[in-house]
A and B are shown apart, each in its own frame.
Chain A
Amino acid sequence: MEKEIISSRQFTIITFLLSIGTAILIVPSSIASSSKQDAWIAASIGVVLSLLVVKLFLTLGDQTPTLNFIEANEKLLGRFFGKITVVGFLSLTLFAGGELLYFIGAFMKTEVMPETPTLAFALLFIIIIMYATYLGLENFARSAEILFPMFVLIFIFFVVSITPQIKFENIQPIMEASKTSILYSIIRFISVFSFSLVMLLMIYPASVNVQQSSKKGFYIGMLLGGFVLVTLITLSILVLGPANTASRTFPSYALAQRISIGNFLQRIEIIMAFMWIVSIFIRTFMYFYTTVVGIAQIMKLKDHRPLILPMGIIMVGLSQIVHPDIVHSNIYNDEIWPIYAFVCTILLPILLLIVAVIRNRKSQGNEAKTVNGENKQENEANIGNADTNQQKQADTGNSDSNHQSQTNTNNADSNHQSQTNTNNADSNHQNQANTGNSDSNQPNQTKTGNSDSNQPNQTKTGNTDSNQEHQPKSDNAKTNQENQE
């Protein structure tokens, strides 16, 4: 399977749309019911706290530059425990994907087409998602790029049209809500908004071609998404009032219903609904993609494509049984989801981070090894070992000198994995994504000609040389620095 690369701008856009996700529809109601008119304060604090969450993900991504999240699990925790945590994580994404399909059906059924069975919506949606997954991540990123300006334009139009109806009294008095209720609101907000950003770790280090700007992109995307949400919540309170916002199932839809410009431009809320559909699409795609790729990777399958169809069928089935009614869905989202998501998306990365740091320190201590000779042997032994290569690569990430010469080339398959960059005597290679070696990459790496895919970070050097793993060290020192942005 080809190694897929997306640019950092596409990555920012995906982050932006992913963080908005379903939050745009359900969050105003649930946080206004506990904090009333101070919901905007809770939302703003939530956005600021999400910066920490993003920092966590970025740091984890840096520790495993060439792997995506699923592989990193196995590499860092060992095969057995890694598999267990991955299964737990995949259960989260699977159920969340089913939930999202249920959600789009529920939304359409409540507000727009009440007589249509939710199965119809779920079916249509999953067909699109399956096709998108089949076409791959690059195509998806491009389609996100196309949808992005539409989203932004509609959002700006929405904000501008609803602003004349603001009544400032609705937001007073300020800071009336108790600290506990604001705390609950913040927890609910963060859980819907930023916990799902963990899925970006599937694409972050491995598939992004420019490391530094995609880091910035991660932050920027998240902040923009937070800005959109806070604006929406504030407008909701200002125009509809806190009581109305809390009691409606979909307050942002009610907000869109109020747009009436000159008594002429009215009843256009379904165009606003386009916004929600776009953000739900992005989020559902990420959940689905993560699940499919995750299963393919823990089973060490070569290609995840055949799994798409059965997975889609399972998700459609799930969407029908996952919530019997909307009350169940509201209770679940308010109470259980924050904890469940916290465990799988925050505790798990923290665990991985700790393990990675410990391993780093350990291998730095092992400098006694004769550099090349041993390494070569390590590397050669690895030929053909899809898994172990990864482990080796972990090491390379850490140490400095240990792997300088890596056999690369000849391995039609995995050996390229052993070509970790290493070269980095110093920088402990967080930037050495080099080859984004995951199993799937192997086929590509045989094509030495791929300068792009192999070295995300080495775009600068334009090293087709990048394929040359046998670069003499001196060169490496230089080039590597170039590569280390």
Chain B
Amino acid sequence: MVLAIAILIISIIIALLYIPKLKKQQETKTILVFSILLLIGTALNMGIALKINIPSPLDFITFIFTPIKDFIVSLTK
């Protein structure tokens, strides 16, 4: 719990440090991408700190590629 809050605080600090700098440079796209990534990262890490069971993205990849793998294995048998 404490860890999750700490992560949130750190992300906010990072955001506060960076966004004004970027605003000055008028790079709205950068700010957008930066914020999205920061959001994803924070959410992910908070999930881990709160011990939520986040499924691994590699399972998704495995799911996509398993038919191909089975196909190749059956070829070489």
With A183-B76, A307-B37, A336-B69 as contacts: A321 and B45 at CB distance below 8 Å:
no
Contacts of B55 in A (CB 8 A): 321
Question: Closest residue to B3 on the A side, CB-wise?
Answer: A119
Min Cβ gap A113→B in Å is 20
Partner of B37, one of A99, A310, A336: A310
Residue B61 at the chain A interface, CB threshold 8 Å = yes
Question: Please, how many angstroms separate the alpha-carbon atoms of A299 and B34 in the complex?
Answer: 11
Partner of A301, one of B29, B54, B65: B29
Contacts of A180 in B (CB 8 A): 76-77
Contacts of B48 in A (CB 8 A): 317, 320-321
Residue A322 at the chain B interface, CB threshold 8 Å = yes
User: Is the Cβ of B45 less than 8 Å from the Cβ of A316?
Assistant: yes
Question: Please, how many angstroms separate the alpha-carbon atoms of A303 and B29 in the complex?
Answer: 11
User: Is the Cβ of A321 less than 8 Å from the Cβ of B33?
Assistant: no
Min Cβ gap B19→A in Å is 9
Question: Please, how many angstroms separate the alpha-carbon atoms of A99 and B56 in the complex?
Answer: 11
Within 8 A of A (CB), among B39-53: 40-42, 44-45, 47-48
User: Is the Cβ of A336 less than 8 Å from the Cβ of B57?
Assistant: no
With A309-B18, A310-B38, A317-B41 as contacts: A95 and B27 at CB distance below 8 Å:
no
Question: Closest residue to A311 on the B side, CB-wise?
Answer: B37
Min Cβ gap B48→A in Å is 5
Residue A302 at the chain B interface, CB threshold 8 Å = yes
With A339-B69, A339-B72 as contacts: A295 and B33 at CB distance below 8 Å:
yes
Size range of the interface on A?
20 to 34
Contacts of A309 in B (CB 8 A): 14, 18, 38
User: Is the Cβ of A335 less than 8 Å from the Cβ of B14?
Assistant: no
Interface centre among B18, B37, B68 (most CB of A within 10 A): B37
> Considering only CB atoms and an 8 Å cut-off, how many residues of chain B contact the other chain?
33
With A324-B56, A340-B65 as contacts: A306 and B76 at CB distance below 8 Å:
no
Contacts of B62 in A (CB 8 A): 332, 336
Contacts of B30 in A (CB 8 A): 299, 301-303, 306-307
With A302-B30, A320-B48, A339-B68 as contacts: A313 and B57 at CB distance below 8 Å:
no
User: Is the Cβ of A339 less than 8 Å from the Cβ of B11?
Assistant: no
Residue A300 at the chain B interface, CB threshold 8 Å = yes
Interface centre among A301, A310, A336, A340 (most CB of B within 10 A): A310
With A322-B56, A324-B56 as contacts: A306 and B69 at CB distance below 8 Å:
no
Within 8 A of A (CB), among B15-32: 18, 21-22, 27, 29-30
Question: Closest residue to B36 on the A side, CB-wise?
Answer: A310
Question: Please, how many angstroms separate the alpha-carbon atoms of A95 and B65 in the complex?
Answer: 15
Question: Please, how many angstroms separate the alpha-carbon atoms of A306 and B61 in the complex?
Answer: 29
Residue B1 at the chain A interface, CB threshold 8 Å = no
Within 8 A of B (CB), among A321-355: 321-324, 328, 332, 335-336, 339-340
Contacts of B33 in A (CB 8 A): 295, 299, 301, 307
Residue B58 at the chain A interface, CB threshold 8 Å = yes
Residue A314 at the chain B interface, CB threshold 8 Å = yes
Residue A318 at the chain B interface, CB threshold 8 Å = yes
Contacts of A332 in B (CB 8 A): 58, 62
User: Is the Cβ of B45 less than 8 Å from the Cβ of A313?
Assistant: yes
Min Cβ gap B10→A in Å is 9
Question: Closest residue to A301 on the B side, CB-wise?
Answer: B30
Question: Please, how many angstroms separate the alpha-carbon atoms of A243 and B44 in the complex?
Answer: 40
User: Is the Cβ of A95 less than 8 Å from the Cβ of B18?
Assistant: no
Question: Closest residue to B30 on the A side, CB-wise?
Answer: A301
Contacts of A316 in B (CB 8 A): 41, 45
Contacts of A310 in B (CB 8 A): 14, 34, 37-38, 40-41
Q: What are the 10 A-B residue pairs with the smallest beta carbon separation, nearest first?
A: A313-B41, A317-B44, A310-B37, A310-B38, A314-B41, A317-B45, A321-B54, A339-B65, A301-B30, A336-B62
9 contacts across the A-B interface (CB closer than 8 A)? A295-B37, A299-B29, A306-B22, A310-B38, A310-B40, A317-B48, A321-B57, A332-B62, A339-B65
